[in-house]
Amino acid sequence: MTGDGTRSVRAGLPEPVAYEPTLPGPVFAAHFHLPGEADGPYTYGRDTNPTWTHLERAIAELESPDERAEAIVFASGMAAISAVLLSHARSGDTVVLPDDGYQALPLIREQLEAYGIEVRTAPTAGDAQIAHLDGAKLLWIETPSNPGLDVCDVARLARAAHDAGALVAVDNTLATPLGQRPLELGADFAVASGTKGLTGHGDLLLGYVVCRDAGLAARVRKWRKVVGAIPGPMEAWLAHRSLATLHLRADRQAANALALAEVLAKREEVTGLRYPGLPSDPSHRQASAQMRRFGCVVSFDLPDRGFAERFLEALRLVDDATSFGSVRSTAERRGRWGGDAVSEGFIRFSVGAEDAPDLIADVERALDGAGSTAGPRT
Ligand SMILES: Cc1ncc(COP(=O)(O)O)c(C=O)c1O
């Protein structure tokens, strides 16, 4: 088996064809020549596209290097999440969601409940979802959770869910397939927003679902055709191009995140610091058992909203922006959205690929400035 770097640079490449490019360019087509019967690999642009095929092979190779799996790409992470839940849950079914996951999950909950599906929720920490599996059809896991960075034991939860007759889906957005492989840990679906660390440049939206069971994959694929939540060929091609540097970005961003977390741990105005790669973090033991890289998101509390706003304003190398996973650092006061159970001073910091000393100096200068403007703290 090849290493992560080799796999990333070669993922999904077609067999070499003389005088053709290594990664064929994006195919812009609404329809394809289709003589005779309506079958063949490429028919209509909402069903299939050769640029997706290459990307789907690449993502499947990364999420499941040792066993054949099928990937289905979507227009966004939310399109991928909705596809798994809405193609598999029926009226009368029960779905278990985390109560501390991505802030659009409550919108999904509303939609599921409108379709007569019972939704139970529990925190990610302590594998608390395990107590709610009785009679469930599907367990949805998000680990590490966004933005709180709690980690649960995927293998343990998957075993318990399967014993209860439930399917298991893991949102792998934050970890990326180089950080965690949910299918190897027993999940039926690895689902992610490719908008974040997978593609890493903050310039496109994408989502994907990967599963090893052909029947499960077929339902998700059919859902994409029905709903039409397809990625554009340009986005799909850009995403594939970005995969060649995934290992470089993931390593560099995780190293920078750890370096920043170590500095933040020593700052007295910082509380509630979370980074699964930090040995003192409550998630570290479980994260080390199932993750191979700890991601690029660090979260922490500053004393209050004003302090947090001054900090963000003072940063020069870090954009005040939502999302995460980009090579350019971003940070935001998460409470501005109103959807997460976080304090007014809570910061979600996505660490980029800058030089760590530059980034750390910028953050320390911004913290000093935000603190001094407020006057002496008691
Ligand atoms: C953990 C997680 N899952 C899914 C999504 C949704 O992805 P997208 O914005 O590509 O629809 C996000 C977006 O922030 C996320 O953080």
Where does ligand 1 bind, in terms of residues with CB under 6 Å? Answer: 76-78, 81, 102, 142, 146, 171, 173-174, 193, 195, 205, 207, 323
Written as six digits, the tokens of 283 are 């998630």
Question: DSSP label at 320?
Answer: E
Residue nearest atom 15 of ligand 1, based on CA coordinates: 102
For 101, the token pair is: 């996951």
Rounded to whole angstroms, the Cα distance separating 141 from 286 reads 15
In the chain, what's the furthest Cα-to-Cα distance? 80
Element (H, E) at 330: strand 330-333
Instruction: Tell me which residue of 140, 124, 130 sits closest to 83, measured CA to CA.
Output: 140
Report the relative pairing of strands 94-98 and 138-142 from DSSP bridges.
parallel
Residues of the chain with CATH 3.40.640.10: 4-243
* Residue whose structure tokens are 């191979």: 292
Is residue 66 within 8 Å of residue 57, measured between CB atoms?
no
Ligand 1 atom closest to residue 173's alpha carbon, by position in its atom list: 1
H-helix or E-strand spanning residue 49: none
Which of 173, 180, 330 is the best mutation target for the ligand 1 pocket, counting ligand atoms within 8 Å of the beta carbon and taking the most?
A: 173
Nearest to 297 by CA among 124, 187, 209, 176: 176
Q: What parts of the chain have a pLDDT lower than 50? A: 376-378
Looking at the chain, the domain(s) classified CATH 3.90.1150.10 span 246-372
Global confidence as pTM:
0.97
Ligand 1 pocket: which of 73, 76, 78 to mutate (most atoms within 8 A of CB): 78
Write down the pLDDT at residue 38: 85
Reduced to 3 states (helix: H, G, I; strand: E, B; else coil), residue 29 is coil
CA of residue 176 to ligand 1 center, whole Å: 12
Atom of ligand 1 nearest to the CA of 146: 1
- Give the C-alpha separation, 15 to 131, whole Å: 48
Alpha carbon nearest to ligand 1 atom 7, residue: 77
How far does the centroid of ligand 1 lie from the alpha carbon of residue 234, in Å? Answer: 20
Helix (H) or strand (E) holding 175: none
Distance (Å) from CA 173 to ligand 1 centroid: 7
Query: Hey, whose CA ends up nearest to atom 10 of ligand 1?
Result: 77
Ligand 1 mean position, distance from CA 79 (Å): 10
Q: What is the pLDDT of residues 286-317, one digit of tens each?
A: 999 999 999 999 999 999 999 999 999 999 99
Distance 158 CA to ligand 1 centre (A): 22
- Residues 24 and 52 sit within 8 Å (Cβ to Cβ): no
Tell the residue number behind the tokens 């596209």, with chain if given.
49
Rg (CA), the chain: 21
Determine the residue type at 179: G
Query: Which residue's CA is the nearest one to ligand 1's atom 14?
Result: 323
- The dotted CATH code for 4-243 is 3.40.640.10
**Residue 194 alpha carbon, nearest atom of ligand 1:** 10
pLDDT value for 168: 99
- Report the distance separating Cα 30 and Cα 49, nearest Å: 9
pLDDT tens readout for residues 79-99: 999 999 999 999 999 999 999
Class of CATH domain 246-372: alpha beta
Q: Whose CA is nearest to atom 6 of ligand 1?
A: 77
Q: Which residues lie closer than 8 Å to 128 by C-beta, 6 or more apart? A: 122, 152
Q: What pLDDT sits at residue 374?
A: 53
Tokens standing for 48? 């299939």
Kindly give the distance from the C-alpha atom of residue 19 to the centroid of ligand 1, in angstroms, as a whole number.
39
